[in-house]
Amino acid sequence: MGLIYDNPTLAALTLTRIAAEESEGPTELTGRMHDVLDDLVQRNGPQYLAELAIVLARARFIALDDLARTTETTTAQLLDNTEVEELEGPGDGL
């Protein structure tokens, strides 16, 4: 049995957990995400990152869709707003 993050969905969750921990401020975890990604490429090849990107994009869409329903807006509007913010200046995105 491989590492838990050899499955793209579980790898996405691992990266999300790292991002959540790092969002609390710089810690010894800074850089850990790169280490996980490097390990994934080494274990599964570079094509694995494409699978991971797809899983992350789908998860992000689901989260945005839930947010749109809660805020009575559309997912398209949330995406448009985020894109404009990113184009206007660097930020953390959604």
pLDDT category of residue 29 using cuts at 50, 70 and 90:
low
Is residue 15, in this structure, part of any structural domain at all?
yes
Is residue 94, in this structure, part of any structural domain at all?
no
Return the minimum-mean-pLDDT range out of 53-62, 71-80, 85-94: 85-94
The answer to whether 58 and 16 are in contact (CB under 8 A) is no
Average pLDDT of the residues in 43-55: 93
State which residues form the domain around 35: 4-88
Total domains in the fold of the chain: 1
State the Cα–Cα distance between residues 86 and 73, nearest whole angstrom: 20
Is residue 18, in this structure, part of any structural domain at all?
yes
Is residue 70, in this structure, part of any structural domain at all?
yes
CA 7 distance to own-chain centroid: 15
Is residue 26, in this structure, part of any structural domain at all?
yes
Is residue 54, in this structure, part of any structural domain at all?
yes
Maximum Cα interatomic distance, the chain, rounded to a whole number of Å: 45
pLDDT category of residue 79 using cuts at 50, 70 and 90:
very high
pTM: 0.74
Is residue 40, in this structure, part of any structural domain at all?
yes
